Each structure stands twice: as structure tokens, then as C-alpha cells.
A and B are shown apart, each in its own frame.
Chain A
């Protein structure tokens, strides 16, 4: 067990200010504070080599949890154990084994080529020369950045910069990696390249990776297991495939007919979501979808038929919507 979290809580105070000029004068003399529960009693365990997706809306508590796991924040209560260490102690042996990449924050020196920042990290993490060279070559070829290493970081595009940031964060071959919104702001092509890299890195180095993201594609492609978090609480912790089974009982079948069909005949096969002259969408239980599809092809003048791939994003959105209502 590489990561063990038990009843983690993070509560902090925020100050309320009344709007307007009167409010400003009041706040000049006294301030009111209220409690905000960023993380509210969450527990989970992660094994070596897992690639986990942490998803939730803004303010759900994802970043706060990551910060508690990496040692940046002291939990209000509960226990956190990463690689056998208490993250908050920030012992050097612990810090040398973890890596944190936060989407918008960079550690590369702006006016210098990336390679200079790498050399600085090499000294900071005490990486021996041979290991450094080997790791650097591997990462550079995986990310395909050999030409831009000697270019000033401020002259690089956002995607190139992100790649170099990743290298800087992975030079010391951390065993546990926290990625906070790694693909944010990147174009579609670059997002895919980064996803491929993360997947390859996870396989090659057996690193445990915890990823937070807004993009469903990141989660779908990379994570077998997801943890859904909202308002500081865990809504779901398990395989991504299972959430579909649990929460999406039905599948949608879209049909285009060559000529209009009768509503009564169609209703026998399944619930009609929409019916226009020659187009129809039916909602049927998952198990029966194939059966209904073949029945449609047999009994109706079908021009085209599609069994909709379950939209994971919608399912997840529904789960979050339900939680915020409660």
C-alpha cells in the first residue's frame, strides 16, 4: 500500500466581507470569519503502480487533498501515509520520492534554457551524473523535446513548456507523482501527447500516479480507477467501467427510418425518448439493447441504426448534480 488516507479532514477559516463602501469601512476595523470544510472525512488506499483519476468540480477538495498528500498542508484531523512517511513532516527521503506538477505553476527559470533548470534540480535532488544522463535521455525521447532543451523557456510554446516542466519534475524518478490539471490550457494534439506520455511513464517506471483533471478524456484514457469528490466528500471510489454499470442502467438507440413509422409499434420495443418523422431515439435497458436493435432491424424499415456509446461524462455529471442537490 503506497498511499493510505484515513478520515482526512481539512477545515479552514475564510473571512466574510459585506459589499459596498460601508462594508469596507467595517472590515477596516473588524473581520468576521466562517469555517470552510475543504475536505470532509475522506478515506482511500492506493497500491503501487496505480493510475488514479481524481475528479470533481472546482472547489470540490481535489487540490486540497493533493496538498495534504504531498505535505504542503497539515490535516485538521485524520491520518495520511505515503510511502511509509507522514507527508507533513516533509522529510528529505520522502521529498526525494515524490513529484508534484501543478498545471499553472512552473518551476523552470523563465529566461534560461530548460536544461539549466534541469541541472539545478539535479543538484537539489542529488542525482548522480550517470543516472541523470540516462533518465534525461529517456524522458527527452519519450516527450520528443531534444531540440528545444537549449531554447529559453520564455520562447517556448505552452505545450513545449509543459513537457519541460514534466521532465524537471520527473528527473529524480519519483515513486509517487501528483498531477494537478496537467493538460489544462493545451491544444487537443498536445493533450493527447501528454496522455500518451503519462500512460507510458506509468507502465515503464511503475510509478503511482494521482491525477486531477477537468477533462473526461484524460480520465477515460488513463485511469482504470477513479475517485469522485465533491464538497470535500467522496462520492465514488472504484473502477471507471463499473460506474457505467452502476449509474447508467439504460442505453440509447438512435434509428433513422426510410419512411415514417407508427408510435404504438415502436413503444412495444422500448421507451421513446424522441420521435420525429423518420428519426427516433429509444431508451432501453442495457442488457436488452442488442435484442431491441435486432428486432428493429427485423420489423422496421431501418436506414441507419446506432447503439449510443454510453456517455461517461454525462453519467458523472449526473452523479455530481445529484450530490449537490442533497
Chain B
């Protein structure tokens, strides 16, 4: 599924690129919706910034670091959290659109990937602009090496998050209604990816649990890495955890895909 044979490489690339361009076009068509999504991504973090501003007795981080954390959070979240699970579960599997894709000569995984990418890049682009504008407020590491490693981590986070959402989407092979699952996933992500507050602020036991689960590696670690709050040892630990989870989730995805497709096509969709 993930390997492309060389002769058809360029043709497949063109197809993926066309998909990508079409969805990029969509973003510009729907200017109202796009604007609203941008607003949505800002509100909760901004409220949290205001909340911490008045918090007395917080040990560990300074307010500037907290402010910087949430600003980076707004952008990184828009850039790294994919929203493909609903399309996979509902439109493709439950409503049967997947059948059309199965007969096409490209992998479903990469198809969804290249359709999701434009939205992430667009939001990421706007986000980076936003960050450049409020650069004064950010607390970013001064070490070039650490910064480069953070960029690597960002890319790994994107893949990790995307694969995870694909797996959630694939659950629809075995569930008639995925909405309950989506709500559970949403809440889990809010708690464990650092969307609510920096994981370092959690009670000790909860913090340890968070570092054990994959979610922190989808969003939280790139942020604290960019802020320079991790030393080299911790950075490499985090990067290896990301690679570990990517590897594991790829395996899970493959297994789920294989058995799920068998069930899906057996039903004669």
C-alpha cells in the first residue's frame, strides 16, 4: 500500500498533486468557512492565556512562557491536528464512497493524506505569519540545532496525528455509529495533547501517564521543544518515542485495513 513502483511514480505523483490542488482551491472558495475555522482555533487558547494571567502561586513557568505556549499551541494545533476521521468513517465507509476509491490505482491512505494536506498547510501558513507578527511574545530556543530538531519533531507529529486519525476512522468498519467514539477521542486529545494546559502543570501521576501515551507526541512535545524547555537528552527521548509510536500505529493501521477491507467488501458495498 505504501510502495509506489517507479514507472508509474510520476503519473501517480501528478494524480496526488491534482487532488491536492483541488482541495486547495476549495479553501479559497469557502472563504467564510475558512475564516470561521481560524477564529475557532484562537478562542480557547486565548481564554487560557487570560486565565493564567491572573493565576497566583503557579510554580515552574513564567507568564511569558505560558503566553508563548498558548500562542504556539494555536498555530501548531491548526497545523498538526488532522480532521480526516469523520470523512473516512462516515462518508467513505458508512456511506460507501470507499468503494469508488478501491478500484482506483492509488492507495487510499495517500489519497486521504494529500487531500488533508492543503488544509494543514494553509492553516500552517497563516499560522506562521501570525507567529512572525507576534514574535516578540514568543519564547523560542536560541539554539539552532534544537530548533532544527524541533522542525523534525513537527513533521513527525503531523504523521503521527494523521495515522492516529486514520485508525479512528477505520473503526467504522466495525461500528455502525462512530459519533460516540469521536467524542471520546476529542476529549482524550484535549486532555492529553496539552490543549487544555501544559502537561507539566498536571498532577505528577497524570503527567507520567501523558508521557506514556502517544497523544503528547502529536502536539505537546514539538511546542516545548521549540520553546527550548527540553535539553538534548529529553529531545532525543521524545523523538524516539515519536518514531516508536509512528511505527506501532503504522502496524496497527495495516492490520486494521486488511481485516476491515475484507469485512467491507464481503458485505458487498
Interface residues of A (CB under 8 A from B): 21, 24-25, 27-28
Measured CB to CB, the nearest residue on chain B to A20 is B25
Interchain residue pairs with CB less than 8 A apart (12): A21-B21, A21-B24, A21-B25, A24-B25, A24-B28, A24-B29, A25-B28, A27-B28, A27-B29, A28-B28, A28-B29, A28-B31
In the bound complex, CA of A24 to CA of B27 (Å):
9
Residues of A with C-beta under 8 A to B29: 24, 27-28
Measured CB to CB, the nearest residue on chain A to B22 is A21
1/0 per residue, CB under 8 A from A, across B10-46: the answer is 0000000000010011001101000000000000000
Residues of B with C-beta under 8 A to A21: 21, 24-25
CB distance from B119 to the nearest CB of A (A): 15
Residues of A with C-beta under 8 A to B25: 21, 24
Residues of B with C-beta under 8 A to A25: 28
Residues of A with C-beta under 8 A to B28: 24-25, 27-28
The size bracket of the interface on B is: under 10
Measured CB to CB, the nearest residue on chain B to A26 is B28
Residues of A with C-beta under 8 A to B21: 21
In the bound complex, CA of A21 to CA of B22 (Å):
8
Residues of B with C-beta under 8 A to A24: 25, 28-29
In the bound complex, CA of A24 to CA of B24 (Å):
10
CB distance from A32 to the nearest CB of B (A): 15
In the bound complex, CA of A28 to CA of B25 (Å):
10
Residues of B with C-beta under 8 A to A28: 28-29, 31
CB distance from B98 to the nearest CB of A (A): 24
In the bound complex, CA of A25 to CA of B27 (Å):
9
CB distance from A62 to the nearest CB of B (A): 30
Residues of B with C-beta under 8 A to A27: 28-29
Q: Tell me the residues in window 58-100 of chain B with beta carbons closer than 8 Å to chain A beta carbons.
A: none
In the bound complex, CA of A21 to CA of B21 (Å):
8
Residues of A with C-beta under 8 A to B24: 21
In the bound complex, CA of A24 to CA of B25 (Å):
6
In the bound complex, CA of A135 to CA of B29 (Å):
50
In the bound complex, CA of A27 to CA of B28 (Å):
8
In the bound complex, CA of A25 to CA of B29 (Å):
8
Measured CB to CB, the nearest residue on chain B to A31 is B31
CB distance from B256 to the nearest CB of A (A): 32
In the bound complex, CA of A21 to CA of B24 (Å):
8
CB distance from A267 to the nearest CB of B (A): 59
In the bound complex, CA of A28 to CA of B28 (Å):
6
In the bound complex, CA of A21 to CA of B29 (Å):
10
